Every structure is written in structure tokens, then in C-alpha cells.
Homo-oligomer: A and B are copies of this chain.
């Protein structure tokens, strides 16, 4: 096993988890060259309006995908957790106004768009797997839009953590009602995701803490009562359902 094969585990793993891939296809993915990069502290990785020809795979930490208004105000459209593939839509449409911002420390793989396009051209199953990834990202954004509209600040905050708990694979298989996962973003970042002021985010977190729903401290989220927080958030994990494996059949 060479360095690349090892380094690429994340993307192959992600695709294989959600789509059925043959050994040949899996190997083809492992052959794609990549380079690991790290950022310490929150920092912009991509600016919107910048034509980029790379795709990123998050290895550790959190990255926010954002859009930016002329006045500098940001909306983070989705928080990415490790294993997520970012910028894949560019295979279809280059020049999208997408920005990426590390939320805390992060490390990620950089792959070339050209390589991935070649891969998609050659292996239809991989192309499908990519497509499925894009749909999944899109669902997350749609659900956030929904949450921002119809939930008040308290439920909205709860909703985000419900989503992250599942996407970070933090739910214990045992029906335990309490568990933890790491979360390195600041309250400022949270406010960019939730469409709230940092001040108000702080108050909502306090309330969640005081009501023994969940705590966020030391970059660690602890859910005290999984049933309760889901009820508060009006949360229905359907939209996160790991996609089904076969594209050809029902």
C-alpha cells in the first residue's frame, strides 16, 4: 500500500458506503493523485468568484461552505464533516460562487477536477456515485433553508446539532440517549450557519444547557437527551438517509 492509496481512503470509503462499486472502480479511485493540506485556525480556503479546479475531501475538522454578500455578510450554507467531498458540483458547472472556510483546525485532501472528470467519464458507476453525493449535499441545504424559515432560534439551533450528530456518525448503535462528538467551530461560525447573531446563539446554547438538552464546551458537543433534542428541533432524519445503493432498480 503506497502513500496515495492510504491517503485516499476517505473518498473511496465515502463513495463505497453510499453506492455499490466494483473492486476495479474502487481501485481506480485509489489511483487518483492527491495531496494532503492542513490549516491551523479558522481561515478561508476558497473565495467565491474564484475559479478553482480542485475538489476537496475533508479529513479532519470542520469546513463551512459559504456565499458572501458585497457587504461582507456571510451565509454558511452547510457545514462539512470529515469524509465529505466539497466542490464536486464543479464537475458539472465550473465557476460557481462557492467559498470554503475552515471552522477551527482542519486537514483535507486536494484532488484535481480534471482527474475526477476523467474518472467519471470512464466509469459510469463512479459518475453515479458522484451525482449521488451532490444530491445528498443539496438535500442538506434544502433542509437548512426549511429550518431557517420555519423554526425559531431555539429549535433551529437544536436542529443543526441533530443534523451534525448524525452526519458525524455520533449516534451510538445502542439506544443510548446521550453521547458526544467533537465540534471545533466558534459561536460566531454557528451564527453564520443559523442566521442568528452570535449573541443570540450564545443564549440559545445557554438555554439548551440549562434545560439539560445538550452542552457545547471545549470543542465537544454532548447530547444529554437525544429524544428530547429531536423533538425540540422538529427533526426528522429522513433527508439524511444514506442513499440507496442501486440506481438501476427501485
Q: Which residues of A contact B (CB under 8 A)?
A: 49, 53, 67, 69-70, 73-75, 77, 89, 91-97, 113-114, 117-118, 120-121, 124, 127-128, 130-132, 134-139, 141-146, 148-151, 195, 234, 236, 238-239, 241, 243-244, 247-250
Contact = CB atoms under 8 A, between A and B. Distances in A.
B67 A142 contact: yes
- Most B CB contacts (10 A, CB to CB) among A73, A114, A135 go to A135
Contact of A89 (B95, B135, B145): B135
Contacts of A74: 150
Contacts of A128: 92, 120, 127
28 contacts: A49-B238, A67-B143, A67-B146, A70-B234, A75-B146, A77-B142, A89-B135, A89-B138, A89-B139, A92-B132, A92-B135, A93-B132, A93-B135, A93-B136, A93-B139, A93-B241, A93-B244, A94-B244, A96-B239, A113-B250, A114-B250, A117-B247, A117-B249, A120-B128, A134-B134, A137-B138, A138-B141, A145-B145
Given A92-B132, A124-B127, A195 B49 contact: no
Contacts of A137: 138
Given A69-B151, A95-B238, A134-B138, 18 more contacts: A67-B143, A69-B150, A91-B247, A92-B132, A93-B241, A93-B244, A94-B250, A96-B239, A97-B236, A113-B250, A117-B248, A117-B249, A127-B131, A135-B138, A138-B138, A141-B142, A145-B145, A148-B148
B146 A92 contact: no
A191 B137 CA distance: 26
A157 to B, nearest CB: 15
Nearest 6 A/B pairs, CB to CB: A138-B138, A75-B149, A93-B243, A149-B195, A67-B146, A131-B131
- Most B CB contacts (10 A, CB to CB) among A49, A118, A247 go to A247
Contacts of A131: 92, 127, 130-131, 134
